[in-house]
Amino acid sequence: MKRTFKYRCYPTAAQVAELSRTFGCIRKVYNLALQTRTEAWNQRRKQIDYRATSALLTAWKRTEELAYLNEVSSVPLQQTLRHLQAAFYNFWAKRARYPRFKSRKKSRSSAEYTRSAFRWRDGVLTLAKMAEPLDIRWSRPMPEDAVPTTVTVSRDAAGRWFVSLLCEDPRVMPLPAADSVVGIDVGIDHLLVLSTGEKIANPRHERRDRRTLARAQRALCRKQIGSNNRAKARVEVGRVHARIADRRTDHLHKITTRLVRENQTLVIEDLAVSNLIRNRRLARAIGDAGWGQFRHMLEYKSAWYGRKVITVDRWFPSSKLCSDCGALATAMPLNVRTWTCDCGATHDRDVNTARNILAAGLAVTVCGADVRPQRNVPSGQSAAKQKALRREPQESPRPQG
């Protein structure tokens, strides 16, 4: 299985200059290709594919205005055209919005090199157009006899340099089968609540550094636009954000690895995190929790190790259902953390939600049942009212589950 290994690297001044030129040329080629494709469709209703933009790149290099594109490796320029084609495929498939132009200040600075644009010998990496190898800090070992097929060099907002190596990792193989299954409910007060009753605390990494971040952002606002001091202040803000993101990523890696190792089947709720973020009161807390990153890690690690992830429909009323008798409550405000059903069962809201998510996911897997099971209808409610309740969006956005 192919796997990416990411390491810190410390390029020399000459290498920094070469990589910075490459980043600038990549942005230029991407924006020119996007502009050309957009104009061709708007003016002539003509679609331009990757091959046409590749031919245009050759013509651009021959012009006096864009002759500087020849100073950098051609492979990252070709790769950015492939990335643009993939962006259009995602747009046509309605998985993403229309591609946007790259910005020097906001876009990610990265360059992708394929096998013909780098040399790999005994763990020493040398990129095209560079005389010296990169100084890489090998924080973890790579597989023996591994040969990278793709190398990506990137620079984050904090000014740190990274190199990512894509190679085959024979060490990734399915784990022994486990008997346990678990339902997972994400939240804010508790990051995760499991159907077993376990609650995993939310570290709130952004809140811990909020004062430091605010101080760095105020210092940035005081600097004159375009000055060197403003560039330095921007890097300081990036460092605070990077520290927060690193802590969050490390915490999520540990949690997802543990869950995948201990459980054969994991059931989660299909939340639209991008829509929940639009709630101004909860956006900061939801972003700090990293729900989307958690699901992404859970899915690819489950694919690695032979586990199964089941997603339950986001409109499934998991908070309102009694996990004992299946009765559906009429309302469940967010401030209600414990409630008692008519059958006499007292529920912790989050644990009850996780149990309902688990039951719904297993029902879909075993017998293909609807993810909205209505075993008992509370007295005094008509079938039409029950149907309306099932169709009504349940507590969106719902930070606690």
Task: Read off the pLDDT of residues 286-342 as tens digits, 9 standing for 90 and up.
Answer: 999 999 999 999 999 999 999 999 999 888 888 888 888 888 887 887 778 887 887
pLDDT for 366: 63
In this prediction, residue 400 carries a pLDDT of 42
Domain boundaries, given as residue ranges, for the chain: 2-168, 173-203+238-401
Residue 226 backbone class (left: φ over 0; alpha: ψ -120 to 50; beta: rest)? left
* pLDDT beyond 70 at 369: no
Average pLDDT over residues 161-188: 92
115-124 own/partner pairs: CB under 8 Å, 24+ apart: 115/148, 115/149, 115/150, 116/75, 117/73, 117/75, 117/76, 117/151, 118/148, 118/151, 120/147, 120/148
Residues 6+ apart with CB under 8 A from 284: 206
The pLDDT score that the predictor gives to residue 401 is 39
Tokens of 178: 């486990």
How far is the C-alpha of 200 from the C-alpha of 291, rounded, in Å?
A: 13
Model pLDDT, residue 160: 96
Confidence of residue 159 (pLDDT cuts 50, 70, 90): very high
**Strand 150-155 with 109-114, pairing:** antiparallel
Q: Which of 112, 206, 269, 288 is catalytic?
A: 269
Query: What one-character DSSP code corresponds to residue 71?
Result: G
Query: In the predicted model, what is the mean pLDDT of residues 35-60?
Result: 95
| Res 29: pLDDT | 97
Q: Tell me what pLDDT residue 294 has.
A: 95
User: For residue 124, what pLDDT band results from cuts at 50, 70 and 90?
Assistant: very high
* Whether residue 250 lies in the annotated active site: no
Distance, C-alpha 130 to centroid of its chain: 32
For residues 66 and 25, give the distance between their C-alpha atoms in angstroms, rounded to a whole number: 9
Q: Is residue 84 over pLDDT 90?
A: yes
Active-site annotation holder among 112, 185, 206, 236: 185
Q: How far does the chain reach from its first CA to its final CA, in angstroms? A: 35
Q: Rounded to two decimals, what is the model's pTM? A: 0.82
Residue 69: pLDDT over 50:
yes
Q: Are 323 and 359 in contact (CB under 8 A)?
A: yes
Among the ranges given (10-14, 108-112, 261-265, 349-353), the one the predictor scored with the smallest mean pLDDT: 349-353
**pLDDT averaged over every residue in the chain:** 88
Told to judge if 185 belongs to the known catalytic residues of this protein, a careful annotator would answer: yes
Residue 313 designated active-site = no
Q: 217-274, pLDDT tens digit by residue?
A: 999 999 999 899 999 999 999 999 999 999 999 999 999 999 999 999 999 998 888 8
